[in-house]
Homo-oligomer: A and B are copies of this chain.
Amino acid sequence: MYAKFESAHLNPLWTQIGDLMPMSPSPQAIPYVWRWADLLPLAEEAGRLVPVGRGGERRAIALANPGLGGRPYVSPTLWAAIQYLGPRETAPEHRHSQNAFRFVVEGEGVWTVVNGDPVAMRRGDFLLTPGWNFHGHHNETDNPMAWIDGLDIPFSYYADTGFFEFGCEGVSDESMPNISRAERLWSHPGLRPLVGLDAKTSSPIAAYRWEHTDAALTEQLTLELEGYPSTTEPGHAAVRYTNPTTGGDVMPTIRAEFHRLRSGTTTRTRQDVGTTVFQVFDGTGSITLGGETQQLAKGDLAVVPSWVPWTATADNDLDLFAFSDAPIIERLHFNRTHIHS
């Protein structure tokens, strides 16, 4: 009978159910930490050996979760890569339905040009390229620059949602303003331009600047010291990057947040459905993933697969950038959280 099933392209539940329908999420992706001290030299080496241009499109090297068979996926849904652009290099314009962001752990000197709007990339900035916006990058300095890219490439590949189109060979605007036009229109707290009242699926803010993020976190910790509720738990400040036209996540598939732990703070251990990736922006500390603790230094990246318990500890003030697939999980109502007491 099983041979007949196979030749008829059938497969019974009763032999599969234990694997397919676990008692709680049982991801193939594993908790893992990549070291910036390993990533950056390899990106530099690629910078010397691999040209950037049409075809390969980007000098991006993706984190490949060891549990996912070598695929360039940090988790089933998410892509995380270090991208490297040498002095005077240009990554040509293209657009795709996949949603993308960049986060800058160090350096500056590159402009990402999003739909013709040049956006300077600087340390601590979080930059958006929502799906189907043309974008290219160019480095007009004599120094290389590296940053991380986050995308929903694995999800898009999995669900067969991907469209792609080439744009111009260089970038469509080579000017190098300090601030993008998108920010000039949109980065004013609580103010919406009347010219932008239409519904927007993704945030129109091209860059969330470090000065704002840092100020927000500093205020939360100061307010806490002054005795007012402002932090998510004692010593733990956090902001979510949001779409000012909805108050929701910046893009339909990706959530991004920034967390700051005061020196000595340990977060409550929690489990969430869905994947979270952290990158250390500053400070030192440790993360405990599924019971195993690892030290973290600047630039290190840690992935927390679905339902894996995690907690972080700050040795000195610890700044963590975080992104996740929470919008996917929440919009489909699969979200659950368990916070350990």
Determine the residue in chain B with the shortest Cβ distance to A94.
Answer: B21
Instruction: Compute how far the CA of A306 lies from the CA of B156 in the bound complex, rounded to whole angstroms.
Output: 11
> B11 touching A163 by the CB < 8 A rule?
no
Instruction: Compute how far the CA of A275 lies from the CA of B164 in the bound complex, rounded to whole angstroms.
Output: 20
> B189 touching A81 by the CB < 8 A rule?
no
> A6 touching B56 by the CB < 8 A rule?
no
Which B residues lie within 8 Å of A333 (CB)?
Answer: 131, 201, 252
A142 within 8 A of B: no
- A122 → B minimal CB distance (Å): 16
> B195 touching A230 by the CB < 8 A rule?
yes
A167 within 8 A of B: no
Which B residues lie within 8 Å of A215 (CB)?
Answer: 188
> A13 touching B156 by the CB < 8 A rule?
no
A184 within 8 A of B: yes
Residues of chain A whose beta carbon lies under 8 Å from any beta carbon of chain B: 1, 4-6, 8-17, 20-27, 29, 32, 34, 38-39, 42, 45-46, 49-50, 55-66, 70-72, 76-77, 81, 96-98, 131, 153, 155-165, 181, 184-195, 197, 201, 203, 205, 208, 212-213, 215-216, 219-220, 222-223, 228-232, 238-247, 250, 252-253, 257, 273-275, 305-307, 325, 327-329, 331-334, 336
- What are 28 pairs between A and B in contact, CB < 8 Å? A8-B34, A9-B64, A9-B65, A9-B66, A11-B64, A12-B72, A13-B60, A13-B61, A13-B62, A14-B57, A14-B59, A16-B62, A17-B56, A21-B153, A160-B305, A161-B329, A161-B334, A181-B228, A185-B216, A189-B205, A189-B212, A191-B212, A191-B239, A192-B240, A193-B239, A243-B247, A244-B247, A252-B332
